[in-house]
Structure 1
């Protein structure tokens, strides 16, 4: 008898650079490759491990978890805006972007490696 695996819809929001809680949440529902994981933005800023959050998402994608949808939050948009216009960087920094820069060990948004910027740009912008 063939076992049919059902797709679950899992939604996670407002991670804000807290990779430990993000990984704990993923573990708590035993994420399967057949699941659809929707990340409702604000992956970065405020917490100390924004880079690690993005690394976790990249690791999932590289491990065959293809059903990940990232909805771009205002924090991701502020980061992208600050790269496009350095005059807007102070707004992002005042909203927790300083913690994101620290997690990447860089001083400015345009120094964040392109891999991560591309991941954020690939998110769905509503």
Structure 2
């Protein structure tokens, strides 16, 4: 593979994130769907019982938005909490974030699919 092809392949693969799990405790949270109160309880429980420690990994696997009452609050809370965390935090994009981005990037077409899947709450 030429250097130019290698560079192009590297750019194409940039949507993949390599995370080393060796020797690390890993916690995974998904499908929050705008439920801020429940998210706060969960994270307070993990932080309060010293479950999460420096060197640990907390992965959020997407679907932060839609359906629940406070998608904006969920996103703001996650960003704030991650900025202060003493452990590594990784955010992945879920299908609801993909639907929103697709809807926004398509000039507003395809909104029915997004709204049917809970987008009207967002």
Q: TM-score, normalised by structure 1?
A: 0.68
Q: Which segments of 5 or more consecutive residues in structure 1 lack a partner in the other structure?
A: 1-5, 101-126
SS in 2 for 1:16: coil
Match of 2:26 in 1: 9
The two structures have a TM-score, normalised by structure 2, of 0.70
**Corresponding position of 2:96:** 75
Divergent runs of 4+, >2 A: 31-35
Residue 7 of structure 1: how far off its partner (Å): 4.5
Q: Residue in 1 aligned with 2:117?
A: 95
**Which residue of 2 is the match for residue 103 of structure 1?**
none
Q: CA separation in 2, counterparts of 1:22 and 1:73?
A: 16
Root-mean-square deviation (CA, aligned residues, Å) is 1.8
1:38-94, Cα deviation, whole Å (9 max, x unpaired): 011111100011111101111023224562112211101000001101112221111
Q: SS in structure 1 opposite 2:118?
A: helix
Q: Report the 3-state secondary structure (helix = DSSP H, G, I; strand = E; otherwise coil) of the residue aligned with 1:29.
A: helix
Q: Which whole-Å CA distance do the structure 2 matches of 1:70 and 1:24 have between them?
A: 19
Q: Write the distance in 1 (CA, Å) between the matches of 2:38 and 2:112.
A: 28
